[in-house]
Amino acid sequence: MKLTIQVKLEPRPARGSGLNAWMFKTAAALARSRVPQSEAVAFISCDDAKPGEVERQVEQGYAAAFDSRPVRSDNGAIVIPKPRAPKWPDRDDDRLRGVVGNQPAAVEDVIAASPIKPDITRHPLDVLAELHGARGAELICLAPKPSKGFRTLSFNQWARGIRRRWNAGKKSQTQDWQMVVPNLMRAPTGSTLDGKPDRDRTKENACDPDRMRFAVVEVDIPPEDPLCVSLGKTPQEMCASVILSQLDRDKLRMVVMSGGKSLHAWLDVDGMDAAAVARLFRTLAPLGVDPAGRLTSQQFRLPNGFRADKGTRQNVIFWNPKS
């Protein structure tokens, strides 16, 4: 009997538009589904690949999928390493079903729970400045698109650009930007892990992991997920239930609509070190919460920004800045 494996993959891009990255990510996805490496090479091969390029990306993807170096057998074949124990707990559907079933909520409930009515017309930088209690010299990192165009400037520098455009009769560009690093940066630039210098968003110039101000809680679940379908709930309703029932309301500072399927809850973790924040996310991971929300340089949706690919605003729907 022939086994059919279903793997969700992104469309293959053209050369110059991220082809190598696509090969790598696709190989890792196939590796996690236990597809033989030779079949992955055959699947990924394309006419515009350079000699040896596909094999190299597949080998690296298979190694990365299991956080290990590839192992070669005597005949030169690549043997898939045995997967290590997952770093984070898997989603516990029974527990998540219980939370959503016992404490159902929707976007309207999050809005109603907000201590202060959010102003969805407020400029994103004003929202961020109040959240951080910024005086002007603090550094914040923004981008117009996911993972593209990040710039780290002080609040004063951003504000000067906004005023210049206003005086010229133009709308502020940052009002239509999408992404932000929630925590303040400690330097304008840093080097990436692979040694590329002078980058605006890196772990090196992000905040100290033991001195984070915000961690962002997002229940990462697509609308076609069997759990959503069986419960008759949207991903936003799943997020709302977890946010309102599982998070410390006194530490919940803001909730932002992603402009898509999810909600992003900004949790005040001031005074918690990296280990304590990790423990918090370990307790939330079984509810489908993405552990990336604890990372210092992780990007999230800009509050009151604009998601161009969906044509929607990323409205703030819960507002509780620390007094």
Q: How many domains are there within the chain?
A: 2
Q: Are 296 and 308 in contact (CB under 8 A)?
A: no
Same domain membership, residue 248 and residue 290: yes
Which residue blocks in the chain are alpha helix, DSSP H? 19-32, 37-44, 53-65, 93-102, 107-113, 124-132, 155-167, 226-231, 235-246, 274-284
Q: Is residue 136 part of a domain?
A: yes
Q: Are 298 and 150 in contact (CB under 8 A)?
A: no
> What single-letter amino acid sits at 175?
Q
Q: Is residue 146 part of a domain?
A: yes
Q: Is residue 10 part of a domain?
A: no
Domain extent, residue 132, equals 93-319
Q: Is residue 158 part of a domain?
A: yes
Q: What is the pLDDT of residue 3?
A: 47
Tens digits of residue pLDDT in 242-293: 999 999 999 999 999 999 999 999 999 999 999 999 999 999 999 999 999 9
The whole-model pTM stands at 0.75
Output the CA torsion sign for 68, 73, 75, 77: negative
Among 28, 52, 79, identify where a domain stops: 79
| Tokens coding 54 | 């596909």
Residue closest to 300 by CA, chosen among 261, 269, 256, 267:
256
In sequence order, the 6+-apart residues with CB closer than 8 A to the CB of 311 are none
Q: Is residue 84 part of a domain?
A: no
Residue closest to 80 by CA, chosen among 93, 63, 92, 94:
63
Q: Report the CATH number that the domain containing residue 272 is assigned in CATH.
A: 3.90.920
Same domain membership, residue 69 and residue 172: no
Same domain membership, residue 171 and residue 48: no
User: Cα(192)–Cα(28) distance, rounded to whole angstroms?
Assistant: 22
Tens digits of residue pLDDT in 58-99: 887 877 776 555 555 555 555 555 555 567 888 999 999 999
